[in-house]
C-alpha cells in the first residue's frame, strides 16, 4: 500500500497537472471548448496507454538493454533529481519541448508520459509489480483529467504565484525521493563491488 501511495505522489508530481493544466489551456485556447476538452482527453488516454504498457511489459522492454533493478532505480533517481532541480529553477517539462513539435502531440508523450514518468513506472513495476503500478497510473490519470481540462480555472484560483509556490514545494519533495533512490542504488552497487 505504501508503494502505491509513493508512486501516486511521485507520478502526480512528474505529470504535474497543476502546472500543465494552464499550459494545456494556453496551447489550445484558440479552439472551441468542446474541441479543447476532446484533445486533452485524447492526450490523457494516449499517455495512460503508454504508461500502462511500461507498467505491464517493463521487464520485456528493459532486459534486452541489459538493465536490472539497480540500474533503473539509479536512472530514475537521477531523472527525478534533474526534474526537481529544473522545477525549483522554474522550468517545467512542458517548457523544454520544442515549440515546433506541438503538432506531434506533445501533450501526451513528452508532457504527460515523458522520461521521468516512464522511468518511475519502470522502477515501481519492479518494486511492487505490474498490478500495483497500473492501479497507481490509473489513479493519477483520473485525478489529472479534470485538472488538465480546467487549467484556466486552476490558474485563476491559485494564480501564478500560487502555482509556482506549490510546484517548488513539490519539487523539493521530489528531489528528496530522487536522492534516496540514488543513495540506495549506490549502496547496492558498492556492496556488489565489495564482494
Check residue 180 and give its pLDDT: 85
Q: Which parts of the chain fold into alpha helices (H)?
A: 2-15, 17-28, 33-62, 69-88, 115-149, 151-194
pLDDT at residue 82 is higher than 70? yes
Residue indicated by cell numbers 533517481: 77
In this prediction, residue 18 carries a pLDDT of: 79
Task: Return the C-alpha cell found at 109.
Answer: 508523450
Annotated domain spans of the chain: 2-194
Q: Is the pLDDT of residue 105 over 70?
A: no
d(CA 114, CA 21): 16
Q: What is the pTM of this model?
A: 0.72
Ordered DSSP codes for 44-100: HHHHHHHHHHHHHHHHHHHGGGT--HHHHHHHHHHHHHHHHHHHHTT--GGGGS-GG
Please list, in sequence order, all residues whose beta carbon lies within 8 angstroms of the beta carbon of residue 166, skipping any fewer than 6 positions away: 18, 158
DSSP tag of 120: H
Amino acid at each position: 500500500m505504501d508503494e502505491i501511495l509513493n508512486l501516486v505522489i511521485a507520478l502526480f508530481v512528474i505529470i504535474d497537472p497543476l502546472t500543465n493544466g494552464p499550459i494545456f489551456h494556453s496551447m489550445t485556447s484558440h479552439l472551441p471548448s468542446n474541441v479543447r476538452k476532446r484533445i486533452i482527453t485524447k492526450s490523457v488516454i494516449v499517455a495512460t496507454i503508454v504508461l500502462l504498457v511500461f507498467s505491464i511489459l517493463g521487464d520485456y522492454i528493459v532486459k534486452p538493454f541489459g538493465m536490472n533493478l539497480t540500474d533503473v532505480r539509479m536512472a530514475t533517481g537521477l531523472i527525478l533529481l534533474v526534474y526537481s532541480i529544473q522545477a525549483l529553477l522554474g522550468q517545467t517539462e512542458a517548457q523544454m519541448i520544442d515549440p515546433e513539435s506541438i503538432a506531434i502531440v506533445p501533450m501526451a508523450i513528452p508532457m504527460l508520459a515523458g522520461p521521468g514518468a516512464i522511468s518511475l513506472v519502470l522502477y515501481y513495476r519492479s518494486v511492487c509489480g505490474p498490478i500495483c503500478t497500473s492501479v497507481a497510473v490509473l489513479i493519477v490519470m483520473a485525478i489529472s483529467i479534470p485538472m488538465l481540462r480546467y487549467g484556466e480555472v486552476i490558474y485563476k484560483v491559485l494564480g501564478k504565484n500560487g502555482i509556482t509556490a506549490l510546484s517548488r514545494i513539490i519539487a523539493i519533495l521530489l528531489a528528496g525521493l530522487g536522492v534516496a533512490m540514488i543513495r540506495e542504488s549506490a549502496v547496492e552497487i558498492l556492496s556488489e563491488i565489495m564482494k
